[in-house]
Amino acid sequence: MTQAPARPAAGEDDVLEVRGLNISFHTPAGEIPAVRDVSFRVRRGETLALVGESGSGKSVTSLGILRLTPKPPFCSISGQVLLRGRDGTMRDLVALPEAEMRGVRGRDAAMIFQEPMTSLNPVHRVGDQIAESIRFHEGLSRRAALGKAADLLDLVGIPDARRRLGAFPHEMSGGMRQRVMIAMALACEPRLLIADEPTTALDVTIQAQILDLLRRLQERTRMAVIFITHNLGVVAEIADRVMVMYTGRVVEQAAVRPLFRAPLMPYTRGLLRSVPRLDFAGLGREKLAAIPGTVPDPLEPPPGCSFGPRCGAFLPGSCDTAIPPLQEALPGHQVRCVRWSALTGEAA
Ligand SMILES: Nc1ncnc2c1ncn2[C@@H]1O[C@H](COP(=O)(O)OP(=O)(O)OP(=O)(O)O)[C@@H](O)[C@H]1O
């Protein structure tokens, strides 16, 4: 067994490299370490899926990348978030002054959320909302920005785009609103798109259409995508690589095929078992719930492996002595489990 090797410097194709990211909330009850020593990279044109049960740190990781977590003293963030800028250099967003971050959000990296109604302003026409972002980042005239907004609505498959510029969000269906959000996110051609459960609130047919749209847009723009989802059916559809999180830590990371075919971490196996097989094809929407037990209280973590108390392969004296390191178990396949080789019959 080998420890994950020191990561080489970012390659030319890397759009994002996160190194040793830690994010903690400081609450009256104590410190909640929501993200712990998380490292990963996403390349141009690649989709990385973040999966894990509720509370595992997926959303906080993605909000932390764009520095959208609460400010100190309520929340602290450390580590490096290296994002490739327009000039091709990697900049550490953790160290960037807030004024410069405003120029990064929406231009170099954009985000879409589950419920577009919370991100769209209900009192402004959708055309103006898209145009505003374009004007802020690109300094175009209102007229030129509205023209570009219409092209974007057309690109995301909204019929009669020019007329729809004048619509208010409540005049559109959920699927159309999500298309507007995608248009807004793509307005400045970001290198990185973070999608946090973007299809969960939509019905199955619309989900499939939005996933298809994202895939086509990604092929065209070669943007890097981080896709957060509870739905492993969606992961199988769209991801190149998968990062599994539990209690704020990465517990397994691999290309999508090996992860689905031969998951090494008992937690990942539990997640995969909890999805009805039919769901893989049908892109069902239910949450992952079938692993027995509950996620531990972050203020009272168990000793050793945080999945230990729920793990069928738990071995006293092995699993409860120290937090297992993230190991490069197989080439490109990392796992945080001291028992992975015994469980799979692989030579360590
Ligand atoms: N504003 C906050 N204040 C305190 N704790 C927070 C805050 N936001 C998130 N947390 C905690 O951080 C941890 C990670 O939460 P996060 O929302 O990232 O999980 P998640 O994996 O995205 O879950 P879900 O799938 O339900 O969105 C959880 O323990 C959560 O309770």
* Domain definitions of the chain by residue range: 14-108+190-344
On the question of pLDDT at 318 being above 90, the answer is: yes
Backbone phi, psi, residue 17, to 5°: -135, 120
Q: What are phi and psi of 259, to 5 degrees?
A: -65, -40
The answer to whether the CB of 59 is under 6 A from ligand 1 is: yes
Whether 38 and 226 have beta carbons less than 8 Å apart is answered as no
Q: What is d(CA 196, CA 115) in angstroms, rounded to the nearest whole number?
A: 10
Compute the average pLDDT of residues 176-188.
89
Q: How confident is the model at residue 138 (pLDDT cuts 50, 70, 90)?
A: confident
Lowest model confidence (mean pLDDT) among 113-117, 190-194, 195-199? 113-117
How far is the C-alpha of 89 from the C-alpha of 329, rounded, in Å?
32
- Looking at domain 14-108+190-344, its CATH class is alpha beta
Check if 294 has its Cβ closer than 6 Å to any atom of ligand 1: no
Q: What integer pLDDT is reported at residue 265 of this predicted model?
A: 96
- In degrees, rounded to 5, the angle at the alpha carbon of residue 58 between the alpha carbons of residues 40 and 6 is 20
Residue 229 exposure: Cα atoms within 13 Å on the Cβ side: 27
What single-letter amino acid sits at 14? D
Residues 6+ away with beta carbon under 8 Å from 218: 45, 47, 193, 225
Amino acid identity for residue 187 in this structure: A
Q: Is the pLDDT of residue 137 over 70?
A: yes
Is a pLDDT exceeding 70 seen at residue 289? no
In the structure, what pLDDT confidence band is assigned to residue 9 with cuts at 50, 70 and 90?
low
Residue 15 has pLDDT above 60, yes or no: yes
Distance from residue 306's CA to the centre of ligand 1 (Å) = 16
CA of 59 to the centre of ligand 1 (A): 7
If you average pLDDT over residues 97-111, what whole number do you get?
Answer: 92
pLDDT at 174: 87
**Residue whose CB lies within 8 A of the most ligand 1 atoms, among 59, 62, 231, 271, for a mutation test:** 59
56 lines ligand 1 (CB under 6 A): yes
8 Å CB contact between 22 and 36: yes
Confidence of residue 104 (pLDDT cuts 50, 70, 90): very high
* CB of residue 334 inside a 6 A radius of ligand 1: no
- Going by alpha carbons, the residue nearest to atom 7 of ligand 1 is 25
Percentage of residues in the chain having pLDDT higher than 90: 69
- pLDDT value at position 92? 97
Other Cβ atoms within 10 Å of 62 Cβ, number: 22
Mean per-residue pLDDT for 157-171? 93
| Nearest to 86, CA basis, from 65, 70, 100, 71 | 100
Does the pLDDT of residue 284 top 60, yes or no? no
pLDDT score, position 273: 85
What is the pLDDT confidence band of residue 57, given thresholds at 50, 70 and 90? very high
Question: Can you read off the two tokens belonging to residue 78?
Answer: 């450390």
Q: What's the pLDDT at 55?
A: 92
> Is residue 8 over pLDDT 60?
no
Alpha carbon nearest to ligand 1 atom 5, residue:
25
Q: Quote the tokens at residue 224.
A: 């890097």
Share of the chain above pLDDT 70, in %: 91
Ligand 1 and 68: CB distance under 6 A: no
- Reported as a single tens digit per residue, the pLDDT across 25-51 is 999 999 999 999 999 999 999 999 999
80-101 pLDDT per residue, tens? 999 999 888 999 999 999 999 9
Tens-digit pLDDT profile for residues 145-156: 999 999 999 888
Q: Is the CB–ligand 1 distance for residue 52 below 6 Å? A: yes
Q: How far is the CA of 32 from the centre of ligand 1 (A)?
A: 9
The pLDDT assigned to 280 comes to 47
Mean pLDDT estimate for the chain = 89
Question: Can you give the pLDDT at residue 285?
Answer: 47
Residue 279 has pLDDT above 80, yes or no: no
DSSP designation for 255: E
